[in-house]
Amino acid sequence: MFYREAGQFKTTYQSDQAIFPIAQDRWFVFAVVAVAYLVVPFVANEYWLQAILIPFLVFAMAAIGLNLLLGYAGQLSLGTGAFMSVGAYATYKLTTAFPDMNIIVAFLLSGLITAGVGILFGIPSLRIKGLYLAVATLAAQFFLNWLFNKVSWFYTHNPSGTITAPPRTTLGVMVSGPEATAEARYMVCLILVTVFAVLAKNLVRGRVGRSWMAIRDMDIAAEIIGFKPLHTKLLAFAISSFYCGLAGAMSLYLWLGSAETEAYNILVSFQVLFMVILGGLGSMLGSFLGAAFVTVLPVFLTNAPQLVGVTMATDLQKHLEVMIFGGLIIYFLIVEPHGLARLWQIAKEKLRRWPFPY
Amino acid sequence: MDILTAIFVTPFSEIVAGPVFFLEVVVSGLLTGIMYSLVALGFVLIFKASGIFNFAQGVLVLFAALTLVGLMERGVPVIAAIPLTMIVMIVLAMLVEKLMLRPLVNQDPLILFMATIGLSFVLEGLGETLWGSNVKRLDIGIPEDVWQVDVGDKYMLLNSFDVYAAVTGAILVVGLAVFFHKTPIGRALRAVADDHQAAMSVGIPLRTIWVIVWSVSGMVALVAGIMWGGKSGVQFSLSLIALKALPVLILGGLTSVPGAIIGGLIIGVGEKVAEVYWGPAIGGAIENWFAYALALVFLLFRPQGLFGERIIERV
Amino acid sequence: MAKERTNGEVLLDVDNISLSFGGVQAIQDVSFDVLRGEVRAIIGPNGAGKSSMLNCINGFYHPQKGTITYKGVKRSQMRTHEAAAQGIARTFQNIALFKGMSTLDNIMTGRNLKMKVNFLLQALYLGPARREELEHREFVEKIIDFLEIQAIRKTPVGRLPYGLQKRVELGRALAAEPELLLLDEPMAGMNTEEKEDMSRFILDVSDEFGTTIVLIEHDMGVVMDLSDRVVVLDYGKKIADGTPDEVRTNPDVIDAYLGVAHD
């Protein structure tokens, strides 16, 4: 009885095209966003911010990127980790070479650089499809990992091979480096994610999004209608890589502080892939839900035994965690292959009818 | 300038100057290649019969090896441990069919692929929980000598273990090819690979076929596990062999048994030669990605792999 | 009965087209023309090469011999998206809708070539992007009204029954405001009412927009009622070409349909 759309008539196409056409949805999202901006920074403790919220935001950005490429444009990429590394290393080189550059500008530029790399590795998609394309993107993953490891220019010949985010301020607040507070870093992440999520949503509900979905669903018919496969696919790779690069830059500067190539290896690519699939392909909400699930679950599993009062050898615990993670993935895929976003939709349907069963 | 010479001139001159050494490198590459083929074969079997790209194949290798070593460590003699492990792999195949394949029948291939990734996590965790995660030695009695093979007035050095492994691999591969093409079960497998519905309508029991296929893949994984594990010890990185098999599959075509063999050989040789002759110029360790780059180049000319089925699209 | 629609100008001229796949000769030396504004039917028994002919016209197949002259420009090879840019739109025998999108979105894809605003402005959804989207939305809504599919506007097309999917596909083709509309068995699998509706839509398209239509159809009644002229193919060759009445009484055509043995 609370969640009814009856009576909410749209009188213009404009209102029909809105991101949240149902009023209750709008209120809910505004509430969540308000809490995120106004409440969380004051209430959350360091651990929550550093271990859960900030990585959630970083991975949400990466998940949006991969979702655009895989969920909307139908191109399977296993190189997400490598693209994140491009963003991280690019920002590192930019900020060390131009100490006066504003950090946000550095982020955006490195996103553009990653987009360029993405286009390069996306070129095979014009000839290769499906699983074969996935393996081609693995070439990107392994090659870039190797490149950043071997060519010492990338980490300015630092003998340990790690890159460290130098301290930077924005609007007078220290946002990266050892003195930046978790709250400050969280806010920057939050702002970046909200802005770019809205941009992505706009893209996805317009011509670009339709062109991607057309190529995804039936690329031959899409071409017959007049979509140019070259432009569509490369644009998808470019924009998706931009988001992943941005996420990589965020991960280095706003979350980890320092990293080496291992932090962006194939396991990261799989992590983001899980987020997108578990969350729901082709759904912006899904990217967020998936990122939340995959970021929170390991933390939960690590802490769960203590909560229940059981102590376990760390080795054993780690193995069990891996097993449970894999088991949950299989379970979710069986129960709802369209992901958490679909479960959410089903919940909304039920809510619409509540308290009636049908 | 130096780097250009190093890439375009030096390697070739080195090859010409030392042909026997080159032969050694090639042979070593071929031997490794057979091993890749073996792992790739496991993939091809499952893909052909059920359309699933089984990412967990690598972990199956690890799991099989762990189980074997675990049994041997507890005093079971090799002669019994191997069949016991095979039984474990068969039971595993049945469980996978019942708990994972059946509920997910008819789902998108991508979903199935993701499920196999999940499976790989489960098996990895399980294996390590049951048998521990430290590196183990696997010794089932294959001799490890260095043989000297005379070629003209020079000689080549070969590792006997590698040769035994390659020969076993080759036998297995040929055996499987024969199995596929000559036996009734093999025929049934090929029927299922072609068309599930049609196969069912002539009475082929789909589920039994799947159990058979996963069991055979499990045994292939066991052999691969023995070979690889014997060489470099049984540890987590064994599961990453699967990642090496991917370029082999790409090259050979996902659905082709001969493709897996030839692809494996090409990748094995290509990788070794590249590492030995070109590696030093670019910094070494190019084995990590060279196979993929090679496969990628092939793909651009033949998107379905050397022997893969041409995907014909109609509107 | 078809009324006088055309001004006599030749829009499409198919000249000695031959097409083969591997060893199979799908089309052999077929020539015919299509006048602007008319409704031209291509009929013939199964396997006669009708769909292949349509595929040649819109550039999906490339004939080994012969030329196609469209709007006065002679060409032997054309890519499909060029054909689309030239004003050719089509529907497909087996429905090629984008199953993951709604009816509205599917038809909106038909407007693709008319939408020019670049992706950056779209991401911001400001000014020009928003105006363009709404403008085209209005046009598409007119098509939705025309085809009477308002109720299924937001339904993912994968969930629609076959007859409605065919109608949505027609909508998508119309959205491109084509000069030449190719319809591949638009009535296949429909019952009588659905066929009547579809026939009405096709006639309306021809009358209101003056679109030239080439249509493949098996239902003789439909062909006789809708078309101005008919081409008959059999085993890849043209065996008749004329008005519906002429073709209906042609002995070769009757033989082909009754299945008289060919040497």
Q: What is the pLDDT of residues B149-180, one digit of tens each?
A: 776 667 777 777 777 777 887 888 788 878 77
pLDDT in tens, C11-38: 888 889 899 887 888 899 999 999 998 9
**Nearest in space to B308 (alpha carbons), one of B269, B258, B254:** B254
Give the integer Cα–Cα distance in Å for A252 and C80: 45
Residue, of C127 and C69, whose pLDDT is higher = C69
Contacts of B123 in chain A (CB under 8 A): 326
pLDDT at B165: 77
Contacts of C92 in chain B (CB under 8 A): 315
Mean pLDDT score of chain C, rounded to an integer?
Answer: 87
Above pLDDT 70, what percent of chain C? Answer: 95
Judged against a pLDDT cut of 70, whether residue B1 lies above it is answered with no
> Which residue does chain A place closest to C101, by CA atoms?
A213
Q: Is A224 close to C84, i.e. CB distance below 8 A?
A: yes
pLDDT in tens, A62-76: 999 999 999 999 898
Does A142 contact B at CB distance below 8 Å? yes
Q: Is the dihedral of CA C136, C142, C146, C148 positive or negative?
A: positive
Alpha carbon A100 to its chain centroid, in Å, reads 28
pLDDT at C263: 47
pLDDT at B249: 84
Q: Which conformational region is residue C29 in: left (phi greater than 0), alpha (psi within -120 to 50 degrees), or beta?
A: left
Taken as a whole, chain A contains a residue count of 358
pLDDT at A4: 61
Mean pLDDT of C88-93: 90
| Interface with chain A: mutation pick from B44, B122, B297, highest number of A CBs within 10 Å | B122
CB nearest to A202's CB, from C90, C98, C122? C122
> Which residue does chain A place closest to B308, by CA atoms?
A132
Helix residue spans in chain A (DSSP H): 13-16, 23-34, 40-43, 46-48, 54-66, 80-97, 103-122, 130-150, 182-204, 207-225, 229-250, 266-279, 284-308, 314-335, 340-353
Judged against a pLDDT cut of 70, whether residue A7 lies above it is answered with no
| Interface with chain A: mutation pick from B110, B119, B236, highest number of A CBs within 10 Å | B110
Model confidence at C250, pLDDT cuts 50, 70, 90, reads: confident
Smallest CA–CA distance, residue B53 to chain A, in Å, is 8
pLDDT at B310: 61
> Which residue does chain A place closest to C133, by CA atoms?
A206
Q: Is A266 close to B305, i.e. CB distance below 8 A?
A: no
Model confidence at C209, pLDDT cuts 50, 70, 90, reads: confident
Mean pLDDT of B226-243: 74
Judged against a pLDDT cut of 70, whether residue C1 lies above it is answered with no
* DSSP-based three-state secondary structure for C54: helix
Judged against a pLDDT cut of 90, whether residue C45 lies above it is answered with no
- C-alpha distances out from residue B249 to A91, B294, B295, C5, C133, Å: 36, 12, 9, 59, 45
pLDDT in tens, B262-271: 888 888 888 8
**How big, in percent rounded to 5, are the helix, strand and coil portions of chain C?**
40, 25, 35
- Chain A residues touching chain C at CB-CB below 8 Å: 13-14, 17, 199-200, 202-203, 206-208, 210-211, 213-214, 216-218, 220-228, 235, 239, 282
Smallest CA–CA distance, residue A95 to chain C, in Å, is 26
* DSSP-based three-state secondary structure for B75: coil
Mean pLDDT score of chain A, rounded to an integer?
Answer: 85
Mean pLDDT of A250-259: 89
Q: Is A224 close to C113, i.e. CB distance below 8 A?
A: no
pLDDT at C2: 44
pLDDT at B216: 86
Does A344 contact B at CB distance below 8 Å? no
Helix residue spans in A35-151 (DSSP H): 40-43, 46-48, 54-66, 80-97, 103-122, 130-150
CB atoms inside a 10 Å sphere around CB B183:
11
CB nearest to A150's CB, from B119, B125, B283? B283
Does A288 contact B at CB distance below 8 Å? no
pLDDT at B19: 77
Q: Is B107 close to A333, i.e. CB distance below 8 A?
A: yes
* DSSP-based three-state secondary structure for C32: strand
Model confidence at B28, pLDDT cuts 50, 70, 90, reads: confident
Cβ pairs bridging A and B (under 8 Å): 135
Give the integer Cα–Cα distance in Å for B248 and B251: 5
Residue, of B74 and A58, whose pLDDT is higher = A58
